[in-house]
Chain A
């Protein structure tokens, strides 16, 4: 019974935590009052919106997720420089843009959304479309002499990690 009650009050514990943190950042001051009001919001908003979120996204391993975020930030830094060099010093005619279809192993909608976002944030690739049944992702690469290599990087570097985190 107490477990069901906690579930009632905190339908999405991660969302509650996130709302408290966002509220404190918005106020930009850490005091007891801010945290308490953040907690009130963090309790009310998930309860009011619980009907629209029937399933909680399951976050398997928060440490792995933090590692994933670090990997992505590092990749953004490195790839930005590479793409800046391409944009500045490569003639348009010499570029080889390519469509890269990426078959997906992950099925969780949240994981696919994060993967698509990651692909767009890491420069040089933009996720352009999802296949009708959600089993493949269409990626556009700015300069890819070897499209298969782009696909393999995405699958090994990002999708494998997301699969471990979400599934």
Chain B
């Protein structure tokens, strides 16, 4: 393995580790439920992406060559926003939001708040 490859791999590892750490720290430090949601979506994008980049670089530098990792990144990038969206919907549904929701600019109501007419439950 050349010296340049080693530096590149180490940089990717450290960058990934730092962002994972910041993401986890944010999960603890932020206090509002909706703000807290920002931390994990961040850790997966750059943190995991960078760690997997290091894995790809290492496999090519040692001669094996592997692009498996791009699949992991792709699937994470596709699924992370969906799960974040669902968690956000739960927060809205259970009113774990500090601020009142603004009214939608065009339609009647936000989808999570929408309920069929005659449904007397509130909350």
Assuming the A-B contacts A80-B45, A101-B104, A128-B88, are A120 and B99 also in contact, with contact meaning beta carbons closer than 8 angstroms in the complex? Answer: no
Which one of A99, A116, A133, A135 contacts B102 once the chains associate, using CB atoms below 8 Å? A99
Q: Which residues of B contact A136 (CB under 8 A)?
A: 104-107
- The answer, yes or no, to whether B7 is at the interface (CB within 8 Å) is no
Complexed CA–CA distance, A119 and B37 (Å): 13
The answer on a CB contact under 8 Å between A92 and B111 is no
**Interface size for chain B: under 10, 10 to 19, 20 to 34, or 35 or more residues?**
35 or more
Of B31, B38, B66, B111, the most chain A CB neighbours within 10 A belong to: B38
How would you classify the secondary structure of chain A's contact residues: helix, strand, loop or mixed?
A: mixed
Complexed CA–CA distance, A92 and B105 (Å): 29
The answer on a CB contact under 8 Å between B41 and A97 is no
Within the complex, the shortest CB–CB distance from B93 to chain A, in Å, comes to 10
Q: Which residue of B lies closest to A69 (CB)?
A: B77
The answer on a CB contact under 8 Å between A128 and B34 is yes
- The answer, yes or no, to whether A124 is at the interface (CB within 8 Å) is yes
The answer on a CB contact under 8 Å between B81 and A97 is no
Interface size on A, residues (CB 8 A): 39
The answer on a CB contact under 8 Å between A116 and B81 is yes
Which one of A22, A103, A117 contacts B81 once the chains associate, using CB atoms below 8 Å? A117
By a beta-carbon cutoff of 8 Å, the part of chain A in contact with chain B is 22, 25-26, 28, 76-77, 80, 83-84, 87-88, 92, 95, 97-99, 101, 103, 116-117, 119-121, 123-124, 126-136, 138, 140, 142
By a beta-carbon cutoff of 8 Å, the part of chain B in contact with chain A is 18-19, 22, 25-26, 29-32, 34-35, 37-39, 41-42, 45-46, 49, 66-68, 70-71, 77-78, 80-82, 84-85, 88-89, 91-92, 98-99, 101-112, 114
